[in-house]
Structure 1
């Protein structure tokens, strides 16, 4: 978290064994954007490290107390620490367990529907899925919300943060946000990417999400490129608010959604190579539904995620979309929605092939998510594309009955 004067805002801890270490980003103009992003790392020479021994000497009011506060709110067990990494290469099992508990509680609070589908997973799988969800959730909160991530020693005014933003902007073009908001969010995502690097090195972050994520990626051998791509999708969102073609939209959907499916199957476990194509389609399917459902909300922010060339084919202009609810009565909207829904369904059919390639114990989780999204898409279709009168969602009885059917179908019956 950065202050107005560019200094990191965090709670200081006097008298602890803290040393300086380094952040790794070297400006090298002219490189491809993926190379620039993948080189972001956290190394031992210019941020702050704390030893576990020092942590254990803290006073009762500051020491590790668990993940749920006195009023039931989520509490970062290491949030009081004014350091970005631990000196030690390996952490005690109890600290890793506390980090997983934090991620699971965050998932339960922030995503009740998803968490319901996770509850029936084997413990190790459930914990890792929650760790990954927490990673994705916080990245999205930074890029698309008002969440401020904490990185002791980080500053949007640091030369490396500025250099990184300059390189990304050189390639991606002007941001679609106001400059102050853009600099803040890009800086946070830059340091978030640094935290991610610790999951793949001997350095360990003090952020419980990345402690749990480090254990997860080591356990399930998850490629860093999939997690880097997700952050890249969030960064891309700061640079564009229109998509000319479906191919442009697909690239965005792959980064923010297909990568999620591809990571999840590494945790679930799968038995056929085609599962990767099916997981990619799963992400596209769900993101296409999100985009259609959220047209009104996005248009209010000046964003259009629907492919412009296809909208124009139905006589729908950018301004028609930005006008909001009036789009429902546009003569081309119903036809556009039919075409859009048809395409989404084709990805859904491919995605459902994934279920037969997953372990039976893990199958319920993606099956439930697919079923929920199937129902949302069906509601949109039946209403001739009315995503304006009210938010399209399932009622609690609908969710319960659907979840029960899916659980029985995919846990006990052959596919």
Structure 2
């Protein structure tokens, strides 16, 4: 235990597990792993941004570990052991685990949220398929709705209607991911489109998976999936507009950047078999500006309607465990400085993308 940790313990505060280098490692992981998420995160107050990096790092590394272990379930057991250490105050000597241990304690993120995430990973490991769209959304609730719930906890949001919309936003993003990755997933023997849709289209899902080619029927399914995602994005908009002013720009940016993937797929004729949808740095910068304009609008006064509320287990897990009161920190600088910073980032990414293409 370091001198700082000993002093904090003596004063009644729990020790801090993560170092500055640990936090930098988590930041670098998201910077290389998800340009869209990293871009949106830059608009968060610094304290929340660092916490979001910790969540992303653990979730991303967990997802990668499950992919590598080829379906034998050992990675899931290993992840559960790591979470035992995180929640038991003895994280393993990994940057992601040490950072996560600090975050879950500081923001009172319940273990159930991570258990649900791992259940989604278990579904992947087992090669599970989904009969209906509701089944697909149940999968999305686990692997992405859980992340929406985590973000709600970071922002101190415990109102059932607000947390419900945060989970909806996560599911919408997952449906967008599924639509974008249909071809890539099929090449890896995975299918996330509802089996009922194949039956209605007169296709055999198993036969198509053996030789995944773009068909008009697959385009129709992709369109349906994105239509459902768009309806969830619009539901989430009503909650995002009610978030504290300091976090509103980042969440609107994440929402718009992900929804843009659907627009690109639309422009490709809903063909994500032969081409993966990508958004240019210039377009991303424009969307960030649009997000900041949305965030500047007055907060709606009408109350949010609740669909399932506390009857949705993920919502109940967050709302029934209120965090200690705390205030988010704001990075110095105004809106103009924020936007200029993000524009500089995209300029840098564009240069690196061009360099990468020339060297490949």
Structure 1 segments of 4+ aligned residues over 6 angstroms from their partners: none
Of stretches 312-321 and 260-269 in structure 1, the one that deviates more from structure 2 is 312-321
Partner of 1:106: 29
Partner of 1:266: 153
TM-score (norm 2): 0.74
Task: Give the RMSD, CA atoms, in angstroms.
Answer: 2.4
Matched, 1:414 2:308: no
Which of 287, 301, 306 is 2:174 aligned to?
287
Change (3 A) 1:234 1:94: closer
Q: Kindly report which structure 2 residues correspond to 1:160-199, keeping only aligned pairs within 5 A, or say none.
A: 181-183=70-72, 186-199=73-86
Partner of 2:63: 140
Matched, 1:214 2:101: yes
Partner of 2:307: none
Deviation digits for residues 55-112 of structure 1 (CA, Å, limit 9, x no counterpart): xxxxxxxxxxxxxxxxxxxxxxxxxxxxxxxxxxx98658533322221222223223
Total equivalences in the alignment: 290
Displacement of 1:293 in angstroms is 1.1
Query: SS in structure 1 opposite 2:139?
Result: helix
Partner of 1:324: 212
**Higher RCO, Cα 8 Å, sep 6+:** 2
For 1:139 and 1:116, locate their aligned partners in 2 and report how far apart those are by CA, in whole Å. Answer: 22
Deviation digits for residues 232-267 of structure 1 (CA, Å, limit 9, x no counterpart): 211221102421222322221111010000001110
Query: SS in structure 1 opposite 2:80?
Result: helix
Contact 1:135 1:209 in 2 (8 A): yes
Contact 2:36 2:258 in 1 (8 A): no
Contact 2:189 2:209 in 1 (8 A): no
Q: Kindly report which structure 2 residues correspond to 1:42-57, keeping only aligned pairs within 5 A, or say none.
A: none
Displacement of 1:198 in angstroms is 2.1
Query: SS in structure 1 opposite 2:241?
Result: helix
Partner of 1:120: 43
Contact 1:271 1:357 in 2 (8 A): no
For 1:276 and 1:123, locate their aligned partners in 2 and report how far apart those are by CA, in whole Å. Answer: 22
Displacement of 1:125 in angstroms is 0.6
Q: Kindly report which structure 2 residues correspond to 1:12-411, keeping only aligned pairs within 5 A, or say none.
A: 93=16, 95-145=18-68, 181-183=70-72, 186-270=73-157, 272-318=159-205, 319-325=207-213, 327-328=214-215, 330=216, 332-410=217-295
Displacement of 1:271 in angstroms is 6.6
For 1:314 and 1:107, locate their aligned partners in 2 and report how far apart those are by CA, in whole Å. Answer: 39
For 2:41 and 2:90, locate their aligned partners in 1 and report how far apart those are by CA, in whole Å. Answer: 29
Highest CA radius of gyration, 1 or 2? 1
Deviation digits for residues 320-377 of structure 1 (CA, Å, limit 9, x no counterpart): 354223x33x4x3343333333222221211222202321111122211110122221
Query: SS in structure 1 opposite 2:274?
Result: coil
TM-score (norm 1): 0.65
For 1:261 and 1:269, locate their aligned partners in 2 and report how far apart those are by CA, in whole Å. Answer: 13
Structure 2: gaps spanning 5 or more residues: 4-12, 300-360
Contact 2:220 2:270 in 1 (8 A): no
Change (3 A) 1:333 1:105: closer
